[in-house]
C-alpha cells in the first residue's frame, strides 16, 4: 500500500509525524481527502476533526483549530493553531472553556469579545465531540 508523510505541528509541539495511507482534512470549503501522490495543494482549515489512516491501517482522529494544510512532493504538512489527538483531549478543561464562552456570550459585551467567545465555544464543542471517538 502506497503511503506518504503526514506532519501536524502547532506553534508549541509536533502532534503527528507518521507515514499514512490517507488523510481527511476539515477544509474551510468542506472536508477533503488526501491520498499518496496527490497534486500539490494549499488549503485553509477550520475547527474540526482531521482523520488519518497510518501505514498499518489504523485510523486516528486529531482535533485541529484552524490553520493550513500543504501537500507537496508526497509530504502533507499541517500547520495548526492548536491540535490534540482525540485521546489527549481533557474533557473537563473543554467543558470549563465551553461554560466560560457561553457566559461571555450571554453577558453581551462588545463585538470583539463576542467573536472571540464564539470561536472559543466552537473549539470547546468540537473538542467534546471529538473526545467521544475514544470514549
Residues that bind ligand ATP (CB under 6 A): 12, 65, 82, 84, 88-90, 93-94, 97, 120, 123, 127
Q: Which of residues 60 and 97 has its CB atom nearest to ligand ATP in the complex?
A: 97
**Shortest Å distance, C-beta 83 to ligand ATP:** 6
Considering only CA atoms, which of 87, 88, 68 is closest in space to residue 78? 68
Q: How far is the CB of 1 from ligand ATP (least distance, A)?
A: 31
Spatial CB neighbours of 32, under 8 Å, sequence gap ≥ 6: 24, 25, 43
The minimum distance between CB 125 and ligand ATP, in angstroms, equals 11
Nearer to ligand ATP among residue 47 and residue 71 (C-beta): 47
Would you say 49 and 32 are in contact if contact means Cβ atoms under 8 Å apart?
no
- Rounded distance between C-alpha atoms, residue 111 and residue 117, angstroms: 10
- Closer residue to ligand ATP, CB minimum distance, 3 or 82: 82
3-state secondary structure of 38: coil
Amino acid at each position: 500500500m502506497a503511503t506518504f508523510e503526514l506532519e501536524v505541528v502547532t506553534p508549541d509541539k509536533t502532534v503527528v509525524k507518521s507515514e499514512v495511507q490517507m488523510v481527511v482534512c476539515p477544509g474551510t470549503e468542506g472536508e477533503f481527502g488526501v491520498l499518496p501522490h496527490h497534486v500539490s495543494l494549499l488549503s485553509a482549515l477550520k475547527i474540526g476533526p482531521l482523520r488519518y489512516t497510518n501505514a498499518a491501517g489504523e485510523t486516528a482522529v486529531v482535533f485541529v483549530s484552524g490553520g493550513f494544510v500543504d501537500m507537496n512532493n508526497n509530504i502533507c504538512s499541517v500547520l495548526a493553531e492548536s491540535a490534540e489527538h482525540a485521546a489527549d483531549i481533557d474533557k473537563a478543561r473543554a467543558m470549563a472553556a465551553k461554560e466560560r464562552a457561553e457566559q461571555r456570550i450571554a453577558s453581551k459585551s462588545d463585538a470583539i469579545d463576542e467573536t472571540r467567545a464564539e470561536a472559543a465555544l466552537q473549539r470547546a464543542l468540537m473538542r467534546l465531540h471529538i473526545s467521544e471517538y475514544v470514549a
